[in-house]
Copies of this chain bind each other. A is one copy, B any other.
Amino acid sequence: MAQQARAIKTRQAILQSAAAVFAERGYERTTIGEILVRAGVTKGALYFHFASKEDLALGVLDAQMLDIPLPPQAIKLQELADQAFLLAHRLQRDALVRASVALALDSGATGVDRVAPFQAWIDQVSEILMVAKARGELLVHVDVTDTASLFSGAFSGVQAMSQILCDRKDLIHRVSVLLQHFMPSICTPALLTGLGLTEEYGRKLGADYDAEWQRRNAANSAETED
């Protein structure tokens, strides 16, 4: 168990270093050598976890996905809002998540499958929308695929603009504005007032996520020391 925990830690350290070098130099000009130096691991350790630079990029791209599943909500559409708020929160805090999103939008990252992370996110949003539809939460005209693509695309542009204009300082506010413009077009009116879409709601969610993350980390450390 302790060995497995160490392996997970090494993998994470390599990904963090890869993310930092990708962010500084762009994907194309990054070399595995630089990542090795930054991570302070042996070539053997790196290639044990990642077969190539492309493989490292895929590992970084995966970091967009949530490591702690969100709690289910009475209104399914709330889960969509929660995901957006949490991704915004993590973009503000976690260099790996920032590198992940930058890589997906980096037109210099040829040879990396940039379709996959977008498609994975569209699929995730589609799944939530399909459940919401089955529960009668959606207005009748809503096309799940179109709406899922729009939401994913709009979010990625909103965060890019926030990064450029103010280093993502106002991102929770901007995501709240996005949600408040988006939900009335897809959600039945009677449910709208039950949704948490404000900036304050988003901040609380982020704080709760951090607390849960720290709790789990502390529990894992205790286990490793056994």
Contacts and interface: CB of A to CB of B under 8 A. Distances in A.
B158 A162 contact: no
Identical chains in the assembly: 2
Contacts of A158: 150, 153-154, 157
Interface in A163-179: 164-165, 174, 177-178
A156 interface: yes
B181 A147 contact: yes
Contacts of A118: 161, 164-165
A107 to B, nearest CB: 6
A10 interface: no
Contacts of A156: 157, 160-161
13 contacts: A26-B26, A105-B105, A115-B165, A153-B154, A153-B158, A153-B159, A153-B162, A153-B174, A155-B157, A156-B157, A157-B158, A157-B159, A180-B185
